[in-house]
Structure 1
Amino acid sequence: MSCTKLSIKEIKQQYLLICEYYKKYLKKFGVKLPKFYDQNKKLTKNALVLVYLTLGYPKTKEVTKTELTQFVRGFYPETNDVQQARHLGAQDGWWIVAGGRDNVVIKVKRGNYQLYTLEQPYPAFKKGHRIAKTDSWDKIREQYGFRCATCGSREGEPHFHWPATKTKLQKAHKDPNQPLAAGNIIPQCQKCNRADRNRWVYDDKSRVIKLADANFIKNFDKKVRWKIFKILYQEFNKKSCVEK
């Protein structure tokens, strides 16, 4: 599919529209607005990609990477492969759906992109990209976009999995074996926080990285428990596991 050609005037008009939505809905979440021009007075690739993805908003269309690349080549002929759409989403906070990533809001083919909305940030976006170590509950909630770190439900809105329930964020441990203090706090909704029962250790993205409660192994099926036993037996060199 050939790309839609736009004049500089049309690109600027679309960029100004993006700015309006950004100021009204996204700036408060720390979403990064790409610069229109770089230091050499050239249109930035990020701005070009975002402009193209927002065409026709709110009725945006699915766009192939080839189409995006063709559009950017009109300004940067040496461009081989456009990666800006992916970076604008996860790193900068724009809700751009990438095909083949288990999306539930809209279905997009693998390798394609579509802007979902200009009124909410990308669900997994965290202000500043890296999570600062702080015990300020307001700061932590802001860093996670006021969403549950586990399921993504937004504070004050209907829960993703229980639509009749209003989402309430609670302080949760990243590592239940450590104090609920700076660097060890993630926001979880009342459903996710209750269900975990201090079983898991999470990273900043609320991905399970360790088991916090060894007793939970008892809930695993026999084959898994046997594999764990063999690993530990080999690790401890066939010695007693009794602490010295």
Structure 2
Amino acid sequence: MRQRLTARLGRRTVQPLALASAAVVLAACSTDGKADSGADMAADDAKNGGPAAIVVEPGADSEKVPVSRKVTVRADGGSLTSVEVGSPGPGSLSGTWSKDKSVWTSTTPLAPGATYTVKARGKASGGSAIGKTASFTTEAAKNTFVGTYNPDKGTKVGVAMPVSITFNKPIHDKAAVERNLKVTATPAVEGAWSWMKDRDGKDRVDYRPKEYWKPGTDVTLRMDLAGVNAGGGVYGTQQRVVNFRIGDAVTSTVDVVKKP
């Protein structure tokens, strides 16, 4: 009798443990019998006021991004307050906002062979500030142009020397290229660009100051041409900073009236 009673009591003590284990298994399953995914849990966390974040696509440090792709900036668990996307050559991208300002999507086509930087700011649903900075590079263009510049970097030139750039391909959109060329000087000067054909028939652009350079002037040429469309499907690839200095003024006077 004692053995039977002990066996019965043993079976009774096991049953509550089995029921508790079953309850744990049921609690770990969703109503449809599938386990919750990490993405679903993260989304629920953001909806419930959890840590908010800004997501940028293409992702940070992506390379060879197709130019057909759009840039998307999304605030998970909050909203966006500002989005800036740009590259030194092609410039800034325009975009549209979702109604709740949680998503920004680019509308300007990407330029090939350019590195874009994304700077996004926003607010979490609880009011705290969130931010994200990322960069990506687009795939290189199949048809490109480059410019040969003069004076060269680190040289010393005369007061009448122009800044000259000769291109290896025809430049159809001269305004787009000129917008991404800049000359600065110390002391500052007033000057302008002018287009012409060089002796070989190539497109060339010169920058000349309104007056001769002053001796000792430090001049900087900036060429932000990477990704710039020169027309006809030809894109720039150069990012250059060229510094040179103006030397002493040397003047030669020739009298063509008098004869030797």
TM superposition score normalised by structure 2: 0.24
**Structure (1 or 2) with the greater strand fraction:** 2
Tell me the TM-score normalized by structure 1.
0.25
Larger gyration radius, structure 1 or structure 2? 2
Greater RCO (CA < 8 Å, at least 6 residues apart): 2
